[in-house]
Amino acid sequence: MTKQVKKPDLQEATDLQQATDLQQATDLQQEYYATGKSMKGFLRSLVIANGRSTKGKVHVRDAIDVKRTMTLVGICLLPAILFGLYNIGLQAQVALASGLATPDIWKLAIFNSLLGGLSQDTGVLGLFLYGLSFYLPIYLTALLTSLFWEVVFARVRGQELHEGFFVTALLFTLILPVSTPLWLVAMGISFGVVVAKELFGGMGYNFLNPALAGLAFIYFAYPSEVATVQQLVAVDGFTGATALAQTAAGKLSFADYSWFSVFSDPNWLNNFLGFTVGAIGETSTLAILLGGLMLLITRLADWRIVVGVMLGMIATATICNYIGSSSNQMMHMPWTWHLVTGGFALAMMFMATDPVTTSYTRQGKFAYGALIGFMTVLIRVANPKMAEGVMLAILFANLWAPLFDYLVARANIKRRIKRHGI
């Protein structure tokens, strides 16, 4: 009598394979989070690509991942960073000509020992190194603080570390005054990473821009440390003012000033090129637009958002110019000046285009950008005590982004129902 061999059950084979895959994934996670292994592997991945290739039909074979995306964003920010470092030294040198002095702080110890201090004879390289002496401690503080929180939450969740904190720290430091205390830098980036990002699930789940949320926190909690013009120039006793502050105070008039008059105005050209006081990476609109153009060419930023921000800003500024006011000079500021003042250009190209906190539908992106442009001008005009309105405008638009997508989706559903007669 022939013995019948039982055929393997297909369901049992599937369950066995799933259990094996799950065990392998668990082993990999335990190995990754073994003592000393996670940080070593993460640092290695920053400079050495993963040699394993994806297999199977479900994988999307694309060269873009988180590391490459963040690297490209950092490269696009280089023009603004390099000019910002030079401008820190330049503005300090200009302030020295008026009789002010450089601060006696530890940040300048290496610079003073190598170049003998800042003077009127200091060249371009010296001015760049002077700015680097102030910016490097700020960036390292933000970077290490954000890395600390990323490691804490990654280990708690059992997830791998992502490179997003590099760009978050970079953007956060570029919108800070050069004389911001380091303890305040750590506090601001901690709020942005923990409260605005990690508490909502981490990378890809946050609905607020972490860098702007951190800035908003320290701006309202410690206004005397970040909201005064003295913090914008790396010298003792600076008492100047930005173009926005001068306009809000009525010291800069735009009456009978058309938007195209800027092309013959040397003051506007200085603001466009960046030879003015301001936050570290916000001064040069030209450098920011060059980096933003690279961002658009690589498709890391959506042009619809940029167009929406510009159109919203231009329309609102034009309406305010038409209405006018005898007591508020901000009502007369043309859109060409709104573009080159404050952090508008940096926010438009690098903050508003954050793919996580923006709308996802095409029509929603236009509405999202237009809301940012509208709110920026509205805040600048309506609140003279807070001439820089783009920070709150983007945070406000972040809250509206899901609603824009919902409205677009509902409109598409209604249109299809009507089309098919359902």
Q: What is the pTM of this model?
A: 0.84
Residue 257: predicted pLDDT: 82
Confirm if 229 and 277 have CB atoms less than 8 A apart: yes
Neighbours of 187 (CB within 10 A): 17
Which helix (H) or strand (E) covers residue 8, if one does? none
Confirm if 354 and 344 have CB atoms less than 8 A apart: no
Confirm if 247 and 333 have CB atoms less than 8 A apart: yes
Tens-digit pLDDT profile for the chain (422 aa)? Answer: 455 555 555 666 666 766 676 666 555 555 555 544 555 665 666 555 555 555 666 555 566 677 788 888 999 999 999 999 999 999 999 989 888 888 888 999 999 999 988 988 889 999 999 999 999 999 999 999 999 998 888 888 877 777 788 899 999 999 999 999 999 999 999 999 999 999 988 888 888 999 999 999 999 998 888 877 778 888 887 877 788 888 877 777 887 788 888 888 899 999 999 999 988 999 999 999 999 999 999 988 999 999 999 999 999 999 999 998 878 888 888 999 999 998 999 999 999 999 899 999 999 999 999 999 999 999 999 887 776 789 999 999 999 999 999 999 999 988 888 887 66
Confirm if 33 and 158 have CB atoms less than 8 A apart: yes
Residue 30: predicted pLDDT: 55
Residue 329: predicted pLDDT: 84
Look up residue 101 and give its DSSP letter.
B
Residue 330: predicted pLDDT: 86
Residue 383: predicted pLDDT: 82
Confirm if 303 and 296 have CB atoms less than 8 A apart: yes
3-state secondary structure of 300: coil
Neighbours of 11 (CB within 10 A): 8
Residue 47: predicted pLDDT: 59
Which residues have CB under 8 Å from 339's CB, separation 6+? 285, 313, 345
3-state secondary structure of 99: coil
3-state secondary structure of 60: coil
Confirm if 217 and 188 have CB atoms less than 8 A apart: yes
Burial label for 350, CB within 10 Å (0-12, 13-18, 19+), is: buried
Rounded Cα gap, residues 381 and 3, in angstroms: 91
Give whole-number Cα distances, 215 to 71, 172, 219, 363, in Å. Answer: 23, 7, 6, 29
Tell me the DSSP string of 302-333: -HHHHHHHHHHHHHHHHHHHHH--SS-GGGG-
Confirm if 391 and 402 have CB atoms less than 8 A apart: no
**Amino acid code (one letter) for 31:** E
**Each residue of 278-292: b (16+ CB within 10 Å) or e?**
bbbbbbbbbbbbbbb
Residue 157: predicted pLDDT: 82
